[in-house]
Amino acid sequence: MAKENLSVIHHIRSFLFGHPPAKAHRKAAPIMCSSVGGGPLERVTKALSLMDVRSSMNEMWSPEAWRKRFKGGKALRIITRLEACAVYPIKTVFDGLKASAIDNVGDPMTAPVLVVTTNPFTLPFIATLTKPLHRCGVVALMYDMYPDALEAAGMAPNALTHLLEYLNRWTIKHLDGVVYLGDVMRASAENRYGVHPNTYVIDNGANPEEFGNTTDALPDDLRQWMDGRIIFSYVGNMGIMHDVETLEKGIAAFLDALSAKDKSRIGFIFAASGAGVERLRHAWQDRYGENIRFIGPQPDREWAELLYRTDVALATLTTRAWATSAPSKVYSAIAAGCALLAVAPIPSDLASIVCGNRDLPPAGVLVAPGDADDLVAKLNAILNGSSPLLSGTWSEQMARLADHYDVSHMAERWQACLERAVVNAPDTWASLSYHSIKRLVDLTASAAGLIALSPVLFCTALAVHCDLGAPVTFRQKRPGIDNVPFELIKFRSMKATDGPIDAKNDAERLTPFGKKIRALSLDELPTLFNVFKGDMSLVGPRPLLMQYIERYDKEQIRRQWVVPGITGWAQVNGRNSLSWDEKFKLDTWYVDHASLWLDLKILVKTLAVVLKRTGIRHADSATMPEFNAEN
């Protein structure tokens, strides 16, 4: 009974508001949302664009602007974080509303999807909560999990952590897709917050082409200092998620034990920001100025050259942050050909990358958090050549990893996730308004037309009866939207036949009177009943024969994704004088560009075509020949 009620409601809704295309046919148009632009999301955006996915970035600050604000003092840093947590989510909601209501006009088969990161952590919840307002799909990319990150920083469970846990559960339940950066993060999050059916693990990835093309971005004095040294670098943020203490003790102990000759062969560069960097500066003071350089976060060109010149990239993660974070800069290091020396707990995604996972070779060597002695041992092994990290075999291994983590491969997984997300995402405001107005016009025009043309309908029916006898109408099953059959009604213009209908014999069956009503399009008038019922629209691809469905290729079948019409883009651009291939191309073009303005243009051009009586005949027959896959 419940299913029957839903079916009745669906039919009433369709009769009143029309048939939007099935959500499964829509293409996703991702809007990558992060308060700070650049980085992995920008790479994915560009990679998706190369795959003909309409993708864009939505940021509040560029990386340069973000770094500048964080250099402006403590007060400006606090203001910046408050803006990111409160102002940016509101901006994202309005940008989503614009994409749904305005940018989607004239592109009906594309649906915007907000890809919201946990930067800021409030963004996924606010974007999901306001989905009925902006009507975009929402996919969350989990960079850092809260309250997990707060707990990893030492915060004990309290009212705030319980609230954040509840909000995470609610958000994940109502999202259209979830993306985690690693398997460990996913398993931990799903155990705590629940499982979403459209969940993917997608590494951040990087673009190897970014590295090696820049050779003069870094200052000359820094490049000269780097030449001839084994370079260890740390890039990115160094905050509460990172094991700073092990680096502090281990690097100091390593350098203190080196001879002057060996010191000249080693260099450490920290192109990073955060409390961890300030702690290292304070702890080491100027004792290691010969071997350690703090250069701060770098613009893209300088950062790319630094990694290209780096031999071993450093990465850290605290024991408590084993499941809350997956450092994204390691993928850039791999793309640049750097081996990894990571301080990280075994049950972490960082450790998994370093030690080898998913049938991939290891990307470096691992040190347990707190084991400064092992860090010293690993550094010495690299210096004296007993470590495999700088060998030729290892270079081949890193090239294989760089190819695996290439952002183009990550973009393919993103596309799969987004395609699943739009199936459950709401219809956009542009789509809802277009199909509602289109249906209102169809209802009004068909009802008015049937009333106003009733004398013409009566006279034509009488004339058909005199010429061909009963019945005066021709009824035939035709495929409607998504191939759902309906009964097409037209006035008869041909003699009846006892055998199967063959288009080759149409010229013989078509009577002189039938030719006249076809030339004036009077035979189409009864299809106004189909329009009134909602089986057809005034404008759309013409409904063809049921047997053609199995003959369409994957491009031609797209003409069935919308409600068929009395007239269409093909009818005003050649009608029966076109080849089947030309017709189908025009039909699918309409599917991709349907709008109220285009429909109005087609209706106006239809009047001109009817009055001029153009395109009535095909070049080889009185009517359009039967469609076969070969013609």
Give per-residue pLDDT as tens, 243-273.
999 999 999 999 999 999 999 999 999 998 8
CATH architecture for the domain at 209-405: 3-Layer(aba) Sandwich (3.40)
Cβ-proximal residues to 105 (8 Å cutoff; 6+ apart), any chain = 430, 434, 595
Instruction: In the chain, list all ranges with CATH 3.40.50.2000.
Output: 21-205+411-424, 209-405
Q: What is the pLDDT of residue 356?
A: 85
Q: Are 610 and 521 in contact (CB under 8 A)?
A: yes
- pLDDT of 408 strictly over 50: yes
Distance CA(502)–CA(185), nearest Å, equals: 63
- pLDDT of 610 strictly over 80: no
Closest among 409, 445, 191, 208 to 307, alpha carbons compared: 208
Round the average pLDDT of the chain to a whole number and report it. Answer: 88
Give per-residue pLDDT as tens, 133-142.
999 999 999 9
Q: Are 124 and 293 in contact (CB under 8 A)?
A: no
Lowest-confidence segment of 73-77, 174-178, 547-551, 586-590 by average pLDDT = 73-77
Q: What is the pLDDT of residue 506?
A: 54
- pLDDT of 202 strictly over 80: yes
CATH number belonging to domain 21-205+411-424: 3.40.50.2000
> Could you tell me how far CA 182 lies from the centroid of its own chain?
19
Q: Are 116 and 123 in contact (CB under 8 A)?
A: yes
Strand partners of residue 340 = 313, 364
> pLDDT > 90: what percent of the chain?
56
The pLDDT-based confidence of 619 (bands split at 50, 70, 90) is: very low
Give per-residue pLDDT as tens, 496-527.
665 555 555 555 667 787 778 877 778 888 99
Across the range 445-457, mean pLDDT stands at: 93
- The reported pTM is 0.86
